[in-house]
Amino acid sequence: MDTKLFDSELKIMEIVWEKEPISAKDISLIAAETIGWNKNTTYTIIKKLIEKQIILRTEPNFVCTTLVKKDEIMRIETKNLIEKLYNGSKKAFFSAFIQNETLTDEEYSELKNMIETRYKK
């Protein structure tokens, strides 16, 4: 899956990931309360997510469940960000990240272990 999700779509996905299975009506109520959207806006975005095959609609009651896991979307969105802002360079992305962030000793150790584990030869 390489479908681009817009910020509005990601907001709806967060609701669905957290509450699924959930009716479109309940999604619209949560979106109205947390984001300030009206029912029509929410339903339009849900329809787009269904068309992109990110959400499955089942009846009765227009129940929505996800077809794509959150970690998959996070991986794709991160890849797109690196492509867009860092010309595909993971090194440039990571360099910018660590230059602008203060890591705790624990975070540093965890990142170091992740890299060493992933690339152990």
- 82 falls within a domain: yes
- 105 falls within a domain: yes
Instruction: Report the number of distinct structural domains present in the chain.
Output: 2
- Give the global pTM: 0.80
- 15 falls within a domain: yes
- Inform me whether the pLDDT recorded for 119 exceeds 90: no
Last residue in a domain, options 67, 86, 106 = 67
pLDDT per position as a tens digit, 30-86: 999 999 999 999 999 999 999 999 999 999 999 999 999 999 999 999 999 999 999
- 2 falls within a domain: no
pLDDT per position as a tens digit, 101-116: 888 999 889 988 988 9
Please state at what angle helix 7-19 crosses helix 39-51, rounded to 10 degrees: 90
In this structure, what CATH number is given to the domain that contains residue 48? 1.10.10.10
pLDDT per position as a tens digit, 1-11: 567 889 999 99
- Inform me whether the pLDDT recorded for 94 exceeds 90: no
Range of the domain at 58: 7-67
- 114 falls within a domain: yes
